[in-house]
Structure 1
Amino acid sequence: MTHYRSTRLAMAVLATAAGLGLSACSSDKGATPTSSTPASPLAPNTTAASPADIAKQKATAAYLGMWSDMAEAATTSDWQSPKLVQNATAEALSKISRGLYADHYNGLFTKGKPENAPTVESVEPDDNPTTVNIVDCGDDSRWIKYRADDGQPANDSPGGRRHINAMAKKAVDGSWKITDFAIQDVGTC
């Protein structure tokens, strides 16, 4: 009896490829080995994400990235940080840069990070999104400004939860960036 051995690779799951050995036997001496490809029990039952779902994910990532980039730059009030352009553009970038420049000019720096929990309010148009509107109830109570000269808090205000509206747009290169945002007073959410 002649044995033929074949090997095939299983599907990549979470960017990891796993080998799966399969054997086939034949008792017919002159026969050419055949390979059958049964359905893999590891194959996930997935459906492709819609363009709207992809836009929501990318716009939300840009929104969270914008706040993270801003918090990092605020530790030294670096209004020229190259990271700021990664997730923000247009009016949003201008607001961030002006705010950080004002802090620099006034001898302030910031410690901590804002807490954000964004949700997508709308995606337009649904079939090929170019705009995503985001709402958030951001909390800046752990993101505090200090005076550089003496290290003391810059004001007595404890901060708090604020309603935030933001707009993300799809750029020509396919990336998503926040183009504008508006922050309301403490206690608005």
Structure 2
Amino acid sequence: MSRWLWLCMLLFASRVCAQGQLQFDAPWGPHAIGFKVVHLVDSSRSWGDGHDPLTGLSVAAMHERPLQVLVWYPASAAGKPMVYSDYLALLASEDGPVNESAIIPRVIEGQLHGWAGSNPLSGYQAIAAQPVHATSAATPASGSFPLVIYVPSDSNAAFEDDVLCEYVASHGLGKAH
């Protein structure tokens, strides 16, 4: 069975690579999509090794583990437009809110350079500038909707499946049609 799975994955990957990028063409739902970030803490777990993960400077170990929670929700009207680099900026605040605004552009640029490797950076900068479907500060749609909890894979960014989360929110988070 595992050989069959590997063959399917290889065929899928070769098709995606041949296209240059995966195209998402499922129909979007009737709702505008809102997005917000909520920073929480887990007081049952300590966090950190005494060094700031972004700057490397010595800091006191935190007594609570920070949790970055991303919320996509059905909205009654769109809010402030977002681009993909708004998602990349979230990498800077995975371990808590960022107090130094100069860190965010450095984190975005570092991620783009990491993806680009020896390839020209301009293609990745173009991706970072592309609009996304979600908008910030959007007014939530009235009504009650099911809560969908999505957890990214190990050591990946919370927004790794942003298109899926936007798509589900556009349909009212699982609301039957």
The TM-score, its normalising length taken from structure 2, stands at 0.23
Structure ranking higher in helix proportion? 2
Higher relative contact order (CA 8 A, sep 6+): 2
The TM-score, its normalising length taken from structure 1, stands at 0.22
> Greater CA radius of gyration, 1 or 2?
1
